[in-house]
Amino acid sequence: MSAEFGVILLGLLASFLFATAAYFQQKAARQTEREGKTVINGLYALMRKLVRDRVWITGWCVNLGGFASQALALHLGSVAMVQPLLATQLMFAMPMSSLERKTWPRLRDWAACLGICGGLVLLLVVVNAAPLQGNPDRTKIVVAVVCALGLIALLVPLAARLTHDMMNVATAASAGLCFSLTGVFLKLTSDDLANHGIAYTAKDWVGYALAGSTLLGLVLEQAAFANGPLPWAIATKDSMNPIASYAIGVLAFPVVFPSGVGALAGISGAGALLILGAIGLAHSPSADLWLRRKEDTPTTGVR
């Protein structure tokens, strides 16, 4: 019992540190001046300033602490126990996003966040939190990568022509999609290391794809932070990640989509909670205050 309690504490600590890191990174990202008219130029200018920003670097260091806590929790416990705990990140991010306004989230905000966290936990439990098992079909992984990049290339420039909130959701969803690919490439790279050694890994394309998806996800995540409320960005990213990961698992790995009545009911319930939570956040009074302030400061963010 004590070991399980320790895993729970470490998982919650990792979730808190990830939320804190996101808070610092968003604070730095939304204060960065926009440069350039195109999406690519805007993202490049954003990252060029952020890597020299002390607040953003502080967030990155806190993020490393979150990864260390997560790694220790995974060492002591199972993936199925730790990953659902990380879904509580949104519950920590909500009050942090209200700090600068010196307000406290309303009951409606908490209910929306609780619905999203509950949906994520239920989804992770139903799909076992680790669907990427067995020998994958690499050709289908390439297909998944091409589709993901095509969707990002279409979605982000389109959202950039619309409002800040659309850019926030689009880039956060794209970041979650990238991080789901990172999970796939991490699995393949780990298999390469275990079965063939470091020399083989250096010649295999998945190691470079791992670095690329991680970097792209990081950049898109910062763009999401710069363009909208922190809870929106975290909720969208954290929802997209497991959904995309499971879809890739069904496509390219020997993963069978759940067919039992209980599993299907769980997935349906998770979907309903995520949708209701998203609707609640979309009409959150806290988010409205943030967006109104955003429109009053047109020189910030990336569009």
Rg (CA), the chain: 19
Contact criterion met (CB below 8 Å) for 161 and 38: no
d(CA 117, CA 242): 12
Contact criterion met (CB below 8 Å) for 243 and 201: no
Q: Where are the alpha helices (DSSP H) in the chain?
A: 2-30, 39-50, 54-76, 79-86, 89-97, 107-126, 138-160, 164-196, 198-203, 205-227, 230-252, 261-282, 285-296
Lowest mean pLDDT segment, chosen from 164-178, 179-193, 225-239, 280-294: 280-294
Q: What is the pLDDT of residues 91-115, one digit of tens each?
A: 898 888 877 667 778 888 888 899 9
Q: What is the pLDDT of residues 28-56, one digit of tens each?
A: 887 775 444 445 567 778 888 888 899 99
Distances (CA, A) of 76 to 9, 129, 167, 187, 204: 11, 16, 39, 20, 31
- Higher pLDDT: 20 or 121? It is 20
- Assess whether pLDDT exceeds 90 at residue 214: yes
Q: What is the pLDDT of residues 190-205, one digit of tens each?
A: 888 878 888 888 888 9
d(CA 303, CA 287): 19
d(CA 236, CA 240): 6
SS3 state at 65: helix
- Provide the whole-model pTM: 0.83
d(CA 263, CA 34): 46
Q: Give the residue-averaged pLDDT of 279-297.
A: 63
